Amino acid sequence: MSIHKLTLCELQKKFTAGEITAGEIVHAYFLRISQVEPKVKAFVTQLKQSASVQADALDQRLKGWRRTRPLTGMPLAIKDNLCTEGVPTTCSSRMLQNFVPPYDATVITKLREQEYILLGKTNLDEFAMGSSTENSAFGPSRNPWNLHCVPGGSSGGSAAAVAADECVAALGSDTGGSIRQPAAFCGVVGMKPTYGRVSRYGLVAFASSLDQIGPITKDVRDAAFLLGAIAGHDPMDSTSAQLPVPDYMKALVKKDLKKLRVGVPREFFAEGLDPEVEQAVRAAIEALKSLGGEIKEIQLPRTDAAVAVYYVVATAEASSNLARFDGVKFGLRAKETKDLLDLYMKTRQEGFGPEVKRRIMLGTYVLSAGYYDAYYGKAQAVRTLICRDFEAAFKEVDVIATPATPTPAFKLGEKSEDPLQMYLSDIFTISVNLAGLPAIALLCGFSKAGLPIGLQLIGRAFEEETILRAAHAYEQSTQWHLKRPNIR
């Protein structure tokens, strides 16, 4: 038995039964990390010593009476824009390369209460701004299926770590597709919950009205399991929804999709979609039909405006959120400055990378006097129309099925000199964040080059159970999720 190949639910079952110890789990995973991490480069920080100490303490305590909570002893990786007390949180930026938070994000608090084991913090595009993890100040991560390709972004490190079996599961954040796009590129499962379902307290903000924390896992059952552990109301987050958290595992019991209405938006199958991606996703939709789903073509007419709206709203919020990094309170401080203005300018010049500077400048521009109504105000108005498109669609269907990405993973450096082409990598995921809806990406096939292709399922607000049920039924009817990258 190779411990690192087990899913989260399989590992949890064996650990709870006493078949394996926490020490054996940690040893197996750090052995795996030592073998593949030099190639994949998924981690910014590894915590072998603290993880080993925690595992030994767990095993000692559980000798007498083996009572555990769901995530006790489970080895997870965390995207490095989630605050972890006593552990560096860099956002893959020079600005925060030495920052150690004095507190935990709420999701980390929930995991600590269950005695999970933190293996390390994963790489990302700087401040979560990017679609390839090439914008990291510490260098790019690589796709385990093809080391010459990107793992996606911004949660590329988390997705690559799960795909390469360097952790049993991971957490990421999704602002415009930053969980689902890398999950699709790396052939794993990535879920963006409804906005407000999971607390954002302790997540270093990029765009506050769009950001959402979610799980990246090896299969859909694991996604349901981990989502249940981190979801729920949090008084520390004013946008957190005061709604009960369902038992997501119960949603997986039903194997067929009878009476489930599946919408297929024609706008997502237009020019620019890779033929291999369209073929795989169409085949997945046929599989949903064979499971009992009722397939119906729908329209989401403002889809073509989503990218433009997103890059106005997101950059505007980013320019506001990142204003706190001024060299005074925390983070990097430039040396040898003449005055306060010089301190601000040099700190930001040295601390931020090109993509972050680009987005701050765009955001500052659209919020400036004389342009606010023309750009930001109009973008928010169109955002409302995008929300109404989804509301109208969900009167006719229960789930919307689309491609997760327009192409499979692209080569490292292929789009780094063309920001507009890079931005279009998220064209199928962005509208979900603008509307605050839940969505999941999972493997539905491979390109001729052997790269994963992802299916995206979108649901109504706070109806994560519906998309989990559909995703799990599809997954169990195929063998795609059993395939693993051949990396050693």
Check residue 1 and give its pLDDT.
62
Which residues, in sequence order, are CB contacts of 480 under 8 Å at separation 6+? Answer: 187, 443, 444, 445, 446
pLDDT of residue 254: 82
Distance CA(131)–CA(177), nearest Å, equals 8
Q: How confident is the model at residue 256 (pLDDT cuts 50, 70, 90)?
A: confident
The confidence score (pLDDT) of residue 416 equals 83
- Catalytic option among 93, 131, 141, 154: 154
**pLDDT beyond 80 at 199:** yes
**What are the φ/ψ torsions at residue 451 (nearest 5 degrees)?**
-100, 140
The pLDDT of residue 270 is above 90:
no
Is 154 considered catalytic here?
Answer: yes
What is the model's pLDDT at position 249? Answer: 96
What per-residue confidence (pLDDT) applies to 255?
Answer: 78
Tokens representing 73?
């002893």
- 230 vs 63, residue with greater confidence: 230
> What is the percent of the chain with per-residue pLDDT over 90, rounded to a whole number?
91
Task: Map 203-227 to HEC letters.
Answer: ECCCCCCCCEEEEEECCHHHHHHHH
Closest CA to 356 of 94, 38, 36: 94
Q: How far apart are CA 462 and CA 244, in angstroms?
A: 10
pTM of structure: 0.97
Provide mean pLDDT across the span 57-74.
86
Distance CA 176, CA 379 (A): 15
Q: Reply yes or no on whether the pLDDT at 477 is more than 90.
A: yes
For residue 186, is pLDDT > 90? yes
Q: Which pLDDT belongs to residue 488?
A: 79
For residue 418, the model assigns a pLDDT of 83
- Mean pLDDT, residues 361-382: 94
Question: Pick from 470, 466, 474: which is nearest to 445 by CA?
Answer: 474
Domains of the chain as residue ranges with CATH: 3-263+396-482 (3.90.1300.10)
Residue 4: predicted pLDDT: 96
**Residue 173 a catalytic site member:** no
What pLDDT, on the 0 to 100 scale, is given for residue 65?
A: 64
- Which of these is catalytic: 92, 178, 319, 431? 178
Q: What is the mean pLDDT of residues 14-22?
A: 93
pLDDT in tens, 288-345: 999 999 999 999 999 999 999 999 999 999 999 999 999 998 889 999 899 999 999 9
If you average pLDDT over every residue of the chain, what do you get?
Answer: 95
pLDDT at 444: 98
pLDDT given for residue 96 in this prediction: 97
What's the pLDDT tens digit per position in 390-446?
A: 999 999 999 999 999 999 999 999 998 888 788 888 999 999 999 999 999 999 999
Element (H, E) at 281: helix 275-290
- The amino acid present at 242, given as its one-letter code, is Q
pLDDT per residue over 93-121, tens digit each? 999 999 999 999 999 999 999 999 999 99
**Confidence category of residue 144, pLDDT binned at 50, 70, 90:** very high
pLDDT reported for residue 64: 63
Each residue's pLDDT tens digit, 414-426: 998 888 788 888 9
Distance CA 21, CA 218 (A): 21
Q: Is 240 helix (H, G, I), strand (E, B) or coil?
A: coil
Kindly tell me if the per-residue pLDDT of 67 is higher than 80.
no
Q: Which of 77-86, 104-113, 255-264 has the lowest mean pLDDT?
A: 255-264
- Residue range 133-152: mean pLDDT, rounded: 97
79 is catalytic: yes
